[in-house]
Chain A
């Protein structure tokens, strides 16, 4: 009986078959590398469509691996039906027990490739992490945050967590810039300056609307909470745009003398303080 099983096994995995399997896997890997290179070249050639093009790779990869593995099992190994069922049963039980999380992440990865919740290049918030999706692998998703950290999130967790997607496949993205300002600034003037500052920033995508809202807030003292909402040209420039617009607003308010007694004027006041206390005449 043992001899028979062994001879069946040897027959199933003869040298020719092992070589064929290796060759098939290598060819699939090479084809995938080629496809990846083509997609990257297309992205470099036309960066405007970076997000749409990048998204095609994870789907193609899953399809090709499924085809490759099916061919290996059914076309090359070609085991008897009984062996297939027995193997599948055993394999399922073993994998299910030993690697629940890995299988869960893999299944989640396949589900995400079939019905994507975000694309490569999108700016997403997963839990406490916010960053650009740089790769969608079979079991993990990688994000690059603005402080250049690489965050790896298991796909199983992504399916369970609510995801906030800032641009949803588009290159431009709505950015909200919040500023807290003193209440002595006339609201009309403040909104006007905020809108003009956003229009002046070269990072702003002017084809989409810009809005500015002002709310009075009380927290120990009254202040205005200004929110400027504008679309950034490219998600990667989100922080640059927010800084640029905020700086333009503050500069303009200072130029017009509207921030003379505010916290933003702290540097000259500090210098004055140093002058007063300085022992030199």
Chain B
């Protein structure tokens, strides 16, 4: 009862805030956020700030805060497998939580301990058994005159025991009739070799959920671990490191060392970042002005992001966004297959979303053009789709 009351009052307060304020003054349009790095404001910023606030690992610092417990989970599972337990594990978390970084750290650790491992990165969506065996053969250096599942499994089990880390699991997700065949093939491979090899999978949360809800992928995995989103405090800490790296020693006349994580503009920025570091970086860059003293900076109170652009989208466009979140990315051909539309119609929907600044056009490693959600607004879009029941 207390929970539902607090949910009701929280929702009402949020809604009241969003309804009774002047949107022109107090909110930033979604496309302004997604196109910030192309804006004049960003171009006019000092090079030292840009270098400190770029989206990637910072010299000497790790931009991604990997929790000890996440790495400990992988090490413990690996230890148990080495001791003879039949273990395979999966890690999943929201886009941008550092799943790949976590896997890289774990694999580096293995490398230092002279353990054998292979990292498998899919470069395209797997559409049949041939694709699956081909992808594994190429990355595990297995040569086969003819792709047959049984002989592939024999060869895989002939390899010395090792860790096989599979990133980008979203390439397994597809809402097409052939999806079950692909999952069946991978399941057979994992089941036949999981005692011998240590399988480690990493997937974005929405892709992982789809694989589990639709294809019971979790039944193949003995241990799964949710990599939680960044807390406000972690984002606060990271932003302070960035300001310090850029050479500033005070924010709004308070020195970096004495900044409280519980109040102030930086705390407000951390709170509004919704666990997404990219949003935190955006808020800092778009709200800063140089202070009067040298090496000082002023940060304006952050504004809300105006999601009215999402509210204007059609049902087809919202379903498209939901499927892009789950599939990781979609090319017009894939979109046409998923939604049973014509290629041109799919291209139009995807292009419209790109023009609105919600999607980015990218070239896949297999040289296909595809569309994916802009990382900077992914947390906002995913939360919106969940609230609208398009994602679950």
Contacts and interface: CB of A to CB of B under 8 A. Distances in A.
A41 B177 contact: no
Contacts of B339: 202
Contacts of B37: none
Contacts of B214: 199, 206
A36 interface: no
A45 B19 CA distance: 10
Contacts of B256: none
Contacts of A124: none
Interface in B309-350: 319, 322-323, 338-340
Contact of A48 (B176, B215, B322, B389): B389
Contact of B176 (A200, A206, A234): A200
B11 interface: yes
B177 A206 contact: no
B177 A171 contact: no
B392 A207 contact: yes
A207 B213 contact: yes
Nearest to B15: A45
B120 interface: no
Contacts of B323: 202
Interface string B69-90: 0000000000000000000000
A200 B179 CA distance: 9
Contacts of A205: 392
Given A46-B387, A47-B387, A205-B392, A200 B213 contact: no
Nearest to A233: B389
A202 B323 CA distance: 8
Contact of B12 (A42, A171, A197, A233): A42
Interface string B1-37: 0000000000110110011000000000000000000
B180 interface: yes
B179 A48 contact: no
Contacts of A195: 180
The listed residue with most B CB atoms (<10 A of its CB), out of A45, A192, A234, is A45
Contact of A202 (B11, B177, B215, B338): B338
Contacts of A171: 389
Interface in A202-216: 202, 205-207
A247 interface: yes
Nearest to B176: A200
Given A247-B340, A248-B340, A234 B213 contact: no
A174 interface: no
Contacts of A192: 180
B236 interface: no
Interface residues of A, number: 27
Contacts of A48: 386-389
Contacts of B340: 244, 247-248, 251
B372 interface: no
B177 A248 contact: yes
A252 interface: yes
Contact of A234 (B215, B322, B389): B389
Contacts of A46: 11, 387
A205 B19 CA distance: 31
Interface residues of B, number: 27
B177 A196 contact: yes
A41 B389 contact: no
B175 interface: yes
B166 to A, nearest CB: 22
Contacts of A45: 11, 14-15, 18, 387
B15 A41 contact: yes
A202 B387 contact: no
B241 interface: no
A45 to B, nearest CB: 5
Given A42-B11, A199-B180, A47 B389 contact: yes
B177 A193 contact: yes
Contacts of A42: 11-12, 15
A201 B338 CA distance: 8
Interface string A245-259: 001100110000000
Interface in B356-392: 386-390, 392
A205 B339 CA distance: 16
Contacts of A201: 175
Interface string A33-73: 00000100110011110000000000000000000000000
Interface of B: 11-12, 14-15, 18-19, 175-177, 179-180, 210, 213-215, 319, 322-323, 338-340, 386-390, 392
22 contacts: A41-B15, A41-B19, A47-B387, A48-B388, A48-B389, A196-B177, A196-B179, A196-B180, A199-B175, A199-B215, A200-B177, A200-B179, A202-B323, A202-B338, A202-B339, A207-B213, A233-B390, A234-B389, A244-B340, A247-B340, A248-B177, A252-B177
Interface of A: 38, 41-42, 45-48, 171, 192-193, 195-197, 199-202, 205-207, 233-234, 244, 247-248, 251-252
Given A202-B322, A251-B340, 15 more contacts: A41-B15, A42-B11, A42-B12, A47-B387, A47-B388, A196-B179, A199-B175, A199-B179, A200-B338, A201-B175, A202-B175, A206-B213, A206-B214, A207-B213, A248-B177
* 8 nearest A-B pairs in the assembled complex, by CB-CB distance: A206-B213, A45-B15, A206-B214, A48-B389, A200-B175, A196-B177, A207-B213, A202-B319
